[in-house]
């Protein structure tokens, strides 16, 4: 084994350096696009796949991200069908309608649950991890696990991660401490019933 291969295996955790690290994102709105650029900047992906029901939006986002290639580690960015995403290491679900003013996350349930049900059926047999970001995230994560038939350990939701980050930032700002030094968490369901710990 040559030195370059060993260092590549150490860096990526892969035995075969020809294997591509693939991340797929379904939904290229505000959240999906933010996940896409963060993923590219982190350098953890060789190929980034994008899908949106609005095909022209996904294509435009893929082109914009690909054109910024000189600002992040090398990666291929392209659109893909949901069926092409079953071989990805991670599939991020950022699809669905966002909330309207005065609407609770649970009010989104009927519409977004139908969408997640359709996506989940198409991801049956996915080999990677499914990360659900769409709201209401906790209920949709359970729905995705049920519909896709994947083990629950491979279908995870962001839960109260964003709420925890917001809490730490606000507390840090108020007490003039770096948010990394704040040890607080938000637990429960991401929404109206969450609690600060």
176 noted as active-site residue? no
pLDDT of residue 72: 93
pLDDT of residue 10: 34
Question: Distance (Å, rounded) from C-alpha 8 to C-alpha 156?
Answer: 28
Q: Which of 137, 130, 142, 153 is nearest to 193 (CA)?
A: 137
pLDDT of residue 163: 87
Could you tell me the pLDDT band of residue 18, with boundaries at 50, 70 and 90? Answer: low
Q: Name all domains of the chain by residue range, CATH numbers in brackets.
A: 20-158 (3.40.50.720), 162-196 (no CATH)
pLDDT of residue 105: 66
Overall average pLDDT of the 155-182 stretch: 93
């Amino acid at each position: 084994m040559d030195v370059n291969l060993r260092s590549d295996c150490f860096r990526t955790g892969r035995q075969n350096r020809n294997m591509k690290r693939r991340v797929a994102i379904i939904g290229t709105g505000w959240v999906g696009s933010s996940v896409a650029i963060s993923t590219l900047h982190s350098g953890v992906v060789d190929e980034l796949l994008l899908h949106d029901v609005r095909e022209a939006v996904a294509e435009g986002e893929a082109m914009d991200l690909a054109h910024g290639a000189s600002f992040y580690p090398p990666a291929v960015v392209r659109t893909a069908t949901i069926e092409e995403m079953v071989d990805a290491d991670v599939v991020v679900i950022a699809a669905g309608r966002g909330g309207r003013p005065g609407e609770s996350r649970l009010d989104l349930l009927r519409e977004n649950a139908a969408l997640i049900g359709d996506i989940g059926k198409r991801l049956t047999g996915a080999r990677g991890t499914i990360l659900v970001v769409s709201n209401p995230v906790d209920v949709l994560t359970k729905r995705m696990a049920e519909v896709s038939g994947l083990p629950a350990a491979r279908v995870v939701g962001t839960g109260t991660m964003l709420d925890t980050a917001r809490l730490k930032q606000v507390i840090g700002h108020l007490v003039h401490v770096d948010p990394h030094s704040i040890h607080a968490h938000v637990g429960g369901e991401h929404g109206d019933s969450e609690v600060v710990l």
